[in-house]
Amino acid sequence: MKLATFNINGIKARTEALISWLKDASPDIVLLQEIKSLDDNFPRVIFEDHGYNVETHGQKSYNGVAILSKLPVEDVKCGLPGDPDDDQARWIEATVIGKQPLRFCGLYLPNGNPAPGPKYQYKLAWMDRMLTHARVLLKDEVPLLLAGDYNIIPQDEDAQQPKDWVDDALTKPDARAYFRRLLHLGFSDAFRLYNYGNGHYSFWDYQAGAWQNNNGIRIDHILLSPQATDLLLDCQIDSEVRGREKPSDHVPVWVDLDL
DNA sequence: ATGACAATCAGAGATTGA
């Protein structure tokens, strides 16, 4: 079973490009971020016509996450618990049943710039809530997957120009520490189980020829609980998507699970 | 040090992103 995460940077502007990639890659499940759309404006019928069930958690203009799934999805929950005043649409989770159940969460973690500042504090508070919620989800002992745009460059090898990201919210020590705390709960960064060293990125800025120069960063991640890691067959980044017509600035990251 | 590029809402230009 192939599951992908893809920050689409606006579903309305990207519908054609997304359909094209779905035809090529044939993922069973796609977790989308930055749909930048209200639920009612999401072009759900076109994806249903291509065989996907659609679940959305949108908001106007900003943020917004969604699930496309060839399998029926159960027990869908929207919003990251822990702050009733947080109205930003950044979290969606659901279960599919393959050979066994899989619980998966699609997330769009706050960018946090400029740091320091209120946006960075929101990012850290959000990561603290995510850590708490991950602990709760792990108690079910069902294979668990946390995938999305983490807005975290885990280590310097995950950027072509790490010096450009010093003092940025994507690399600041407090933010990286929260990412490590997630790993310490037992999660694995799936990509690093199948890929090594420099040069592997999931985001390239639109500006200054970043893609042509492979000046990228790896910020879209798939974290697997121990039981999900035991199902892992492969994890790769579809970087060539960045070179297509009218691309998002992110590309898909996917796992193949024996599920 | 700044801006470069793109999407959104709106209907110009500000806001946000990373």
| pLDDT recorded at residue A61 | 94
List all nucleotides in chain B with at least one atom under 7 A from a protein Cβ: 3-9, 16-18
A38 touches strand B (CB under 7 A): yes
Kindly tell me the number of DSSP H helices and DSSP E strands found in chain A: 5, 14
pLDDT band at A9 (very low <50, low <70, confident <90, very high): very high
Using a 7 Å CB cutoff, list residues 150-169 of A near strand B.
151
Name the percent of chain A lying above pLDDT 90: 100
**pTM reported for the whole predicted model:** 0.97
For range A97-125, the mean pLDDT: 96
SS3 for A152? coil
Whether the CB of A61 is less than 7 Å away from nucleic strand B comes out as yes
- A167 has catalytic annotation: no
d(CA A32, CA A11): 9
- Give the sign of the dihedral formed by CA A121, CA A175, CA A231, CA A200: positive
- Cα-based angle A125, A130, A132 (whole degrees, multiple of 5): 95
- Banded model confidence at residue A254, pLDDT cuts 50, 70, 90: very high
Question: Stretch A21-46: mean pLDDT, rounded?
Answer: 97
Rounded to whole angstroms, how far apart are CA atoms A214 and A209?
A: 8
C-alpha distances (whole Å) from A66 to each of A63, A78, A139, A246 are 10, 10, 25, 21
- Paired with A257 in beta bridges are A232
Closest CA-bearing residue to C1' of B10: A61
Asked if strand B contacts A34 at the CB level, meaning under 7 A, the answer is yes
Nearest to A236 by CA among A23, A27, A8, A35: A27
**pLDDT at site A235:** 98
At residue A125, the pLDDT reads 97
pLDDT for the residue numbered A242? 97
